[in-house]
Amino acid sequence: MKFQDLKKNLVNNLPNLFFIKGEDAFLRDKAVEMIKNRAVTLKELNVICFDDESTDMVSIINSCRSLPMMDEHKVVILKNLAIKKAEELAPLVQYASSPVDTTILVVVANENIALYKKYEEKAVVVDCSYLDGVMLSKLIVTELSKRKVQINQDALNAVIEYCNYDYTRISNEVIKLSNFVGDGQIINLETVKQNVTKDVEYDIFEFTNAVSGRDGKTAISIVKNLLMHKEPPIKLMVLIHNSFRRMFFALSTTADNETVASQLGTKPYAVKIAREQGAKFGIAKLKKFMDLGAKLDFDIKNGKMAEENALIFFVTSICA
């Protein structure tokens, strides 16, 4: 189920096994909190969290099999397990085949998802991927209304885009903005521009947007500004290369945006934009930029070119 469906599903149903995955750390933590609040009253006595890479499976299974103290359930949470092979989870999978009725086991994983496949098949899956713009807008408006603050549509869109749809960042920025304007005030676009730092990936989006609109001057200015703010040249190289790779892939397939987004590990909206931007370049030019980026990466790794020189050459070649 999607994160936004979890609260509703917990009202009349409390499964013994949960598997929480997805890129948004804030949503993963929120999902765990919702399950804890639904399952137990005495959290100090009945919530056990294994958040240690060295934790062994024997301790985990023993905790799962022990009874709650003065409560109906206990919650066992597993985070950041150093799992290298799927076989290491065999005891957990075996327990999941016949879980203790009074234990709610919550496994949180945002990396190496494939290793958890056999456990995932037995658990209720909560997808904490980045939310779309519509859902994020609702959450932001709701949070601000609690603080008696309003936000206009342009400002709302800017917060979401500047934070690259990451609700962890958005939540922090919303608190900062509401404190800045104060009760009863309205957050406008100018306030967002002055107080919210753009995510680097949003700057790369603006870069590719400028290039696709044949505005090389703006594109080069964006990259120079990022370098001035100490962004590593190799990081910018990778982000720009990935942007063209996404456009190339999106333009090369007839699959729908949802399918392509799943394959690329991004959002459907990002695929839609990639297709629109990519169409302005064409497949041949996108492949040319991808090949150039790969060559420059090779030259950097083999000491033939300095990182910043390679980045500038890459950018100016794209803008030519």
What is the torsion angle, in degrees rounded to the nearest 10, for the CA atoms of residue 31, residue 33, residue 36 and residue 37?
-110
Secondary structure class of 66 (helix, strand, coil): coil
- Beta strand extents in the chain (DSSP E only): 17-21, 47-50, 74-79, 103-108, 124-127, 150-151, 186-187
Residue 304's CB is within 10 A of a number of other CB atoms, namely: 11
Of the candidates 136, 126, 143, the residue with the CA atom closest to the CA atom of residue 167: 136
pLDDT of the residue at 53: 65
Along the 320 residues of the chain, how does pLDDT read in single tens digits? 988 889 899 988 999 999 999 878 888 999 999 999 999 999 999 999 988 766 688 999 999 999 999 999 999 999 878 777 888 889 999 999 999 999 999 999 867 788 888 999 999 999 988 788 888 898 899 989 988 999 999 999 999 988 878 888 888 899 999 999 988 899 999 999 999 888 887 888 888 888 888 888 888 888 888 888 788 999 899 989 988 998 999 999 988 887 888 777 777 777 888 898 889 889 999 999 999 999 999 999 999 999 999 999 999 898 87
Of the candidates 228, 171, 163, 168, the residue with the CA atom closest to the CA atom of residue 197: 163
Of the candidates 45, 35, 36, the residue with the CA atom closest to the CA atom of residue 9: 35
Angle at 209 between CA 205 and CA 210, to 5 degrees: 120
Give the C-alpha separation, 35 to 6, whole Å. 9
Give the C-alpha separation, 292 to 176, whole Å. 41
pTM: 0.63
Pick the CATH number of 133-195 from 3.10.450.30, 1.10.8.60, 1.10.10.10, 2.60.120.260: 1.10.8.60
Secondary structure class of 108 (helix, strand, coil): strand
Give me the CATH topology for the region 200-319. Zinc Finger, Delta Prime; domain 3 (1.20.272)
Secondary structure class of 317 (helix, strand, coil): helix
Give the C-alpha separation, 308 to 236, whole Å. 10
Residue 105's CB is within 10 A of a number of other CB atoms, namely: 25
Q: Tell me the backbone φ, ψ of residue 152, rounded to 5 degrees.
A: -85, 170
* Tokens 């996108």 sit on residue: 286
Give the C-alpha separation, 288 to 114, whole Å. 33
> Residue 17 in contact with residue 121, Cβ under 8 Å?
no
Q: Where are the domains of the chain?
A: 3-127, 133-195, 200-319
Give the C-alpha separation, 108 to 51, whole Å. 10
pLDDT of the residue at 86: 80
Burial 63-87 (b: 16+ CB within 10 A, else e): bbeeebeebebbbbbbbebebeeee
Find out if CATH 3.40.50.300 is the number for domain 3-127. yes
Query: How would you class 265 by CB atoms within 10 Å of its CB: exposed for 0-12, middle for 13-18, buried for 19 or more?
Result: exposed
Give the C-alpha separation, 307 to 115, whole Å. 35
Length of the chain: 320
Query: How would you class 258 by CB atoms within 10 Å of its CB: exposed for 0-12, middle for 13-18, buried for 19 or more?
Result: exposed
